[in-house]
Amino acid sequence: MSLPNFEQSLSQLIAIPSISSNLANEDQSNHQVISLLATWFESLGFTIEVTPVPNTRNKFNLLAKLGSGEGGLLLAGHSDTVAFDEIGWNSDPHKVKRKGGRLYGLGTCDMKGFFAFILQACQGLSVNKLTKPLYILATADEETTMAGARFFSQSQDIRPDAAIIGEPTNLKPVIMHKGYMSHKITVTGKSGHSSRPSAGINAIEIMHQVIGKLINLKSKLGLHYQNQAFDVQEPTLNLGVTRGGDSVNRICGQCELDIDIRSLPSMEDEEIIYWLTDALASVVEQYPGRIRIQELEPSSPSFHLEKNSNLAKLAEQLSHQSCCAVNYATEAPFIQKLASQTIVLGPGSIDQAHQPNEFLAEDQINTTLMILTQLINKYCLTQET
């Protein structure tokens, strides 16, 4: 089988829609992307395992393996993209457009493009030359629930020496990121005619008190927790979405607030939940049975790899950039359960991710291929790890 070159493979991946969304009418299967990757890597001699991801809308993980034995290297990424607004795009999001030294398209940097790089780096590899296995992982639903990575970490028993997650970091090694959790706070009041306020209980007014407590909590978290490795050094609490009321002349009977909290690596989920429930305790006591807190999506843990680890040092050497911390979340904490030395390192910038006119800079192509080739040589072609 004749395999495509880098730009051809990138174009074929971008052409297949694979949007992940919490909205059923926008959510799309990644099966075609997984099938295309399976075809390519199988032609290179990899053994292929395609696995349905439970509790998803027809989503799949792919694990490709070349070679045998213990240890080795895992190159990982997600096969889905976020939704897009056509109005903001200057070109078709599902067609790669080259202009001004950039390759535009939905998923070029976040992060279907990483698989195009892996495909090129793997061509010419011979299983007879490998002393340790090379694994390629493509996951599902990273942009929503991270269901693919969660399931993979629970269902697989591979133990590679190192893992690289190719999120867009501008090829800067990321060894630390914040955790993420989201909650819905629902206030149930009692509706009635606005001319008789005493006949009802206004849910918006109660939510006003809830928001005040959350703003105080936000300040307290900043005072109690700091990490100078991050440019936003404190945990964050964001008031994201509010919904309430149905008519201007009715007392609001229900109000909802969606929040997210991004925690530092030193913080545990249980600790954050304690802070949240304690902050709202007085309002809950004042309005018994009217305030409910529920998880919106399963939380994603924070991630941390020691700066003096072998992989961190090697990544700095290959990239000529220092390791850093980022505020967003990735699949790294789930992959790290299988490969203790895990790092986030990939082409493209997070500034382009989730934005109209997402692009990959062409001047990163050769450097990315060089880094991947040297990582494969280090972990799969020699006995040293």
258 is known as an active-site residue: no
How far, in Å, CA of 18 to CA of 13, rounded?
9
pLDDT of the residue at 385: 41
Measure Cα distances from 224 to 177, 260, 270, 383 in Å.
Answer: 18, 18, 16, 45
The listed CATH number (3.40.50.1980, 2.40.50.140, 3.30.70.360, 1.25.40.10) that belongs to domain 179-300: 3.30.70.360
How far, in Å, CA of 238 to CA of 84, rounded?
22
Q: Which residues contact 356 (CB under 8 A, 6 or more apart)?
A: 84, 85, 88, 89, 90
What are the per-10-residue average pLDDT scores of the chain (385 residues)? Answer: 93 98 94 98 97 97 96 98 93 97 98 98 89 98 96 95 98 97 97 95 98 97 94 96 96 98 94 96 98 95 96 98 96 97 97 95 97 97 60
* 243 φ/ψ angles, rounded to the nearest 5 degrees: -140, 135
pLDDT of the residue at 172: 98
Regarding beta strands 254-263 and 236-244, do their DSSP bridges make them parallel or antiparallel, or are they unpaired? antiparallel
Nearest CA to 107 out of 76, 84, 132 is that of 84
pLDDT of the residue at 126: 84
H or E, element range at 47 = strand 47-52
**Burial grade of 12 (CB within 10 A; 0-12, 13-18, 19 or more):** middle
Q: What would the two tokens of residue 271 be?
A: 């600790």
pLDDT of the residue at 382: 66
Give me the catalytic one of 27, 110, 142, 167.
Answer: 142
Interior CA angle at 145 toward 142 and 147, to 5°?
75
Give me the catalytic one of 80, 141, 143, 161.
Answer: 80
Q: Which residues contact 268 (CB under 8 A, 6 or more apart)?
A: none
Instruction: Reduce the DSSP state of residue 277 to 3 states and report it.
Output: helix
CATH superfamily of 6-177+302-380: Zn peptidases (3.40.630.10)
Q: Structural domain boundaries of the chain?
A: 6-177+302-380, 179-300
142 is known as an active-site residue: yes
Is residue 168 a contact partner of residue 346, using CB atoms and an 8 Å limit? yes
DSSP string, 306-332: -TTSHHHHHHHHHHTS--EEESS--SH
How far, in Å, CA of 290 to CA of 132, rounded?
58
Q: Where are the alpha helices (DSSP H) in the chain?
A: 6-14, 31-43, 113-122, 147-155, 203-224, 269-286, 310-319, 332-335, 365-380
Largest CA distance in the chain: 82
